[in-house]
């Protein structure tokens, strides 16, 4: 029996096929340009070359049908295993205040996720489309929702309540929720192992870096603050999102440019951040190459990104207390060492002593690495995240009736004997 995990977004679907329990990654892939036309699907099976197919137009139903089809194709070497799909784990962006842990999806759960769409219109709608498509194609297969928000339910009220009219929170759910929870969970548990401690003994700052970027302040293994808020727009500078700005800019520019609320929301989410400063719609590797070569706008954008991350680290040091480690994901480029160097440089006063050679030696391979000196009071780790393994283990535990909420669940990756999986993407 196997577990299929799906991360369904507006225009893409990321999928992984695990053996039961998540012990082995059998295949992984990505469907691009869902609903846009000119779609494609890529599939990587360990030991085989990546296979990419152009497929024209697919919606979410067609995309998941395509995923099931390529997994069952004899040429990909997973046919017999793929047809044994026993359950599907769906990443769901927003669980609001309703969901405090992963859950088996039934009609009531799905209706509640629908009712939460107003809190994450760009994300939950696509997640729902994926759930409905999978249910139509595999109606007898149990489905589980794994929420981005649940790791952060341990935040105290003074960290998640905004200084806004209190009825906005009570009536409309306006508060900090946070995202990338499975990634922060995985990073924190792996960091605890590397430190030789239990999770509840560790004070950490974890930094998830991808198209979206978020930081989490973790005290005694629990999230006590995180940079993303009501939506994934708040926080650090990201590829296309602005992150923190003076909110008065929004009505000012809406007036200046005669923009609607929907148009402004699109700009803040899709045309700001790195792309906003550089004007380049390019991948992370190209951006970092240009910054390293001295391109003025790219260097400026990287300096802004690093400065904002450094400020968050400083702020979270103040609330976490004595810090054990800062943890970076590997990021999306082989040149992430350059970005990390800018972030951790100058933090020696906080007991963070970077090792330049160690940092620059970190590649894109799936390795867990320390990039501070041996005598650094606070360690800095680079750890490849594995959100999908969290999904697979939650699915297995729920269907085996031995699941505890994430703070108390016995994850395999929290064990010193765990060997991190190599990515196949």
Separation between Cα atoms, residue 138 and residue 388, nearest integer Å: 20
Residue 212: partners with Cβ closer than 8 Å, 6 or more residues away: 179, 180, 228, 232, 238, 239, 241
Q: Let me know if 80 is a catalytic residue.
A: no
Q: Are 282 and 171 in contact (CB under 8 A)?
A: no
Q: Are 206 and 187 in contact (CB under 8 A)?
A: yes
User: What does the radius of gyration of the chain's CA atoms come to, in whole angstroms?
Assistant: 21
Separation between Cα atoms, residue 345 and residue 328, nearest integer Å: 14
Q: What token pair was written down for 299?
A: 């260097």
Q: Which residue has the tokens 């010193």?
A: 416
Q: Are 43 and 73 in contact (CB under 8 A)?
A: no
Helix axis angle, 336-344 relative to 284-292, nearest 10°?
A: 60
CB atoms inside a 10 Å sphere around CB 418 = 14
Which residue of the set 51, 80, 106, 148 is catalytic? 148
**Cα 233 from chain centroid?**
13
CB atoms inside a 10 Å sphere around CB 413 = 19
Separation between Cα atoms, residue 171 and residue 165, nearest integer Å: 10
Q: What token pair was written down for 244?
A: 């923190």
Q: What token pair was written down for 399?
A: 């269907």
Residue 246: partners with Cβ closer than 8 Å, 6 or more residues away: none
Q: Could you list the active site residues? A: 148
């Amino acid at each position: 029996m196997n577990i299929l995990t799906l991360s369904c977004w507006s225009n893409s679907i990321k999928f992984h096929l695990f053996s039961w329990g998540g012990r082995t990654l059998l295949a992984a892939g990505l469907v691009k340009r869902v609903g846009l036309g000119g779609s494609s699907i890529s599939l990587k099976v360990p030991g085989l070359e990546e296979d990419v197919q152009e497929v024209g137009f697919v919606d979410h139903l067609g995309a998941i049908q395509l995923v099931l089809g390529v997994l069952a194709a004899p040429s990909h070497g997973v046919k017999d295993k793929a047809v044994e799909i026993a359950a599907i784990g769906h990443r769901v962006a927003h669980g609001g205040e309703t969901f405090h842990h992963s859950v088996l999806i039934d009609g009531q759960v799905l209706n509640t996720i629908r009712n939460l769409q107003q809190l994450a219109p760009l994300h939950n709608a696509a997640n729902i489309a994926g759930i409905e498509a999978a249910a139509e194609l595999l109606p007898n297969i149990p489905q589980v929702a794994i929420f981005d928000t649940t790791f952060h339910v341990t935040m105290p009220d003074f960290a998640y309540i905004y200084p806004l009219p209190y009825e906005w929170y009570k009536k409309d759910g306006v508060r900090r929720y946070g995202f990338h929870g499975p990634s922060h969970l995985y990073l924190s548990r792996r960091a605890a192992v590397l430190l030789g401690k239990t999770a509840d003994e560790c004070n950490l700052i974890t930094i998830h870096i991808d198209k979206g970027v978020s930081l989490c302040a973790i005290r005694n293994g629990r999230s006590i603050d995180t940079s993303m808020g009501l939506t994934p727009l708040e926080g650090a500078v990201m590829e296309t999102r602005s992150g923190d700005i003076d909110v008065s800019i929004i009505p000012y520019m809406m007036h200046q440019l005669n923009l609607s609320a929907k148009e402004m929301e699109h700009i803040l989410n899709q045309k700001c951040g790195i792309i906003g400063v550089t004007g380049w719609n390019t991948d992370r590797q190209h951006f970092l190459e240009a910054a390293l070569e001295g391109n003025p706008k790219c260097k400026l954008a990287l300096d802004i990104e690093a400065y904002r991350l450094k400020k968050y680290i400083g702020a979270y040091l103040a609330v976490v207390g004595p810090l054990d480690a800062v943890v970076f994901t590997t990021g999306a480029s082989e040149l992430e060492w350059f970005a990390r160097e800018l972030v951790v440089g100058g933090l020696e006063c906080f007991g963070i002593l970077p090792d330049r050679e160690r940092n620059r030696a970190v590649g894109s391979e799936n390795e867990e690495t320390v990039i501070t000196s041996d005598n650094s009071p606070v360690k800095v780790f680079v750890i490849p995240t594995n959100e999908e393994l969290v999904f697979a283990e939650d699915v297995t535990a729920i269907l085996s009736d031995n699941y505890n909420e994430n703070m108390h669940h016995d994850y395999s990756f929290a064990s010193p004997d765990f060997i991190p999986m190599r990515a196949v993407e």
